[in-house]
Amino acid sequence: MDEQFDVAVVGAGPAGISAACILAEKGVRTVVLERGEYPGAKNLFGGVLYGHDLAQIVPDYRDRNCPIERNIVESRIWYLSRNGGYSLSYRDRVFELQGKFNAFTTGRARFDRWFAEQAKDRGALILCSTVVTDLLRDSNRRVIGVRTDRPDGDLRARVVLLADGINSPLAKKTGFRPEPKPAEVALSVKEVIGLPEEVIEERFGVESGSGVTVEILGDVTWGMNGVAFLYTNKRSLSVGIGANLLHFSQNRVRPYEMLEAFKQHPMLAPFIKGGKPQEYTAHWLAEGGFDTIPQLCGDGFLIAGDSAMLFNALHREGTNLAMASGRMAAETVLEAMDRGDFTRRGLEGYGRRLQESYVLRDMKKYRRFPHLLQEHKEIFTTLPELSSLAAREMLTVNGVPKKEKQRAIWNAVRRKMSPFRLLGLLWDAWRSVR
């Protein structure tokens, strides 16, 4: 390709397309290179997208036929033991009444395609079925473009935005960021289960167009550091489960076996009963947190989204951080273009923007959270069983006085866990979220 672009974006995910929208709107010659047949063809996520960062890029996204499955009106958390568990839920009509929903469910195949159309409308060029295989550098190691697998091969650009996601062969090859260690990524599997619209609404107690999210923790990940989820789409449910990649290999567990077992759990089974499996996918998740964020820019390049390990595991925020970082990368490039300086120095405003925003402030706040889950295995083993035992005992009326029940529960806790270990867990949990 002889053509010279101002910006080459690697990856048409939320990070890359956000940047392309902002840049193209300002008349910057932007090309997005996507390995999938179409944007979203290879992408997977649980399904919840927050509207705030999308609205910063496409303010009228709801009027532009954004493929929304259901607006979220209720969030639930389940903490599960083998045979049951706790459920905590929060519903608020405020979002609904104000017509300003905080989040909605969507599918990546439809959403990414729609989002890429918004960038195209603004003038970005989206080249699909194009794998970026290497970065082009000049004699000073400055990035000056990308090498692709297209017959017309190399493409030159004044700056390259790496928005190629967590599973990046390019990172491994070029070393623009360290390859994530198995302990820093999770492997997640997801199944979409078809059900009639009215069945979903009845089972979750919602109106047409409204939906529920359920985040799930506990025994379901077989003692490994992981989470599961259940989200409502219009005519289907998304059910997924994942765990740390290191734990999967250490325990020799197959993710799809864990998913099958999870589908039999007494809390989940009634919701998916009679459903027809429609789709099955697997993907990595950036879980390492703040301490694994790489250098965010260098001479001629910036890194955004999952590729920069921007994922807030506690709040299940990934696509919004990708969009926010893509937007800030684009704003930095615009600034650099004014100055004509694409060196690392000229692009440093990107890191500053991220640091001042909620993106890095939240990730810093929760920097200990990945360690909490890694170091306290009992969150996934002993604790779900003990907490279920406590509820079962206190709720069962069998003639035993409550004081004796409390004593029995405390003795059971002490047999399984020393008071010091329990105190240590509470202390670490508080420190990880304070």
Residues forming the site for ligand FAD (CB under 6 A):
10-16, 33-36, 42-49, 131-132, 163-165, 168, 170, 188, 190, 240, 242, 283, 285, 305-307, 311, 316-320, 322
Q: In Å, how far from its chain's centre is CA 88?
A: 22
Q: In angstroms, what is the minimal distance from the CB of 131 to ligand FAD?
A: 5
66 versus 386: smaller Cβ distance to ligand FAD = 66
Q: What is the sign of the dihedral through the CA atoms of 116, 313, 189 and 285?
A: positive
Biggest CA pair distance of the chain: 85
Q: In angstroms, what is the minimal distance from the CB of 20 to ligand FAD?
A: 11
131 versus 183: smaller Cβ distance to ligand FAD = 131
CB 238 within 8 A of CB 214: no
Q: In angstroms, what is the minimal distance from the CB of 109 to ligand FAD?
A: 11
Determine phi and psi for 106, rounding to 5 degrees.
-160, 170
Report the C-alpha gap between 319 and 325 in whole angstroms. Answer: 10
Q: What is the sign of the dihedral through the CA atoms of 200, 215, 357 and 29?
A: negative
Determine phi and psi for 343, rounding to 5 degrees.
-75, 175
**Token pair for 377:** 């295995």
Q: In angstroms, what is the minimal distance from the CB of 188 to ligand FAD?
A: 3
5 versus 45: smaller Cβ distance to ligand FAD = 45
Q: What does DSSP assign to residue 367?
A: T
Q: In angstroms, what is the minimal distance from the CB of 204 to ligand FAD?
A: 17
61 versus 416: smaller Cβ distance to ligand FAD = 61
Q: At what angle do helices 319-339 and 358-365 cross, to 10 degrees?
A: 130
Output Rg (C-alpha) for the chain, integer angstroms. Answer: 23
Q: Which of 88, 90, 81, 89 is nearest to 392 (CA)?
A: 81
Q: In angstroms, what is the minimal distance from the CB of 415 to ligand FAD?
A: 36
Q: In angstroms, what is the minimal distance from the CB of 232 to ligand FAD?
A: 12
313 versus 413: smaller Cβ distance to ligand FAD = 313
Give the Cβ contact number of residue 124 at 10 Å. Answer: 27
85 versus 165: smaller Cβ distance to ligand FAD = 165
Could you please report the per-residue DSSP string of 158-169?
Answer: EEEEE---SS-H
Report the C-alpha gap between 163 and 34 in whole angstroms. Answer: 10
In the beta sheet, which residues pair with residue 103? 50
244 versus 319: smaller Cβ distance to ligand FAD = 319
12 versus 267: smaller Cβ distance to ligand FAD = 12
Q: In angstroms, what is the minimal distance from the CB of 5 to ligand FAD?
A: 15
163 versus 267: smaller Cβ distance to ligand FAD = 163
Q: In angstroms, what is the minimal distance from the CB of 116 to ligand FAD?
A: 10
Give the Cβ contact number of residue 59 at 10 Å. Answer: 10
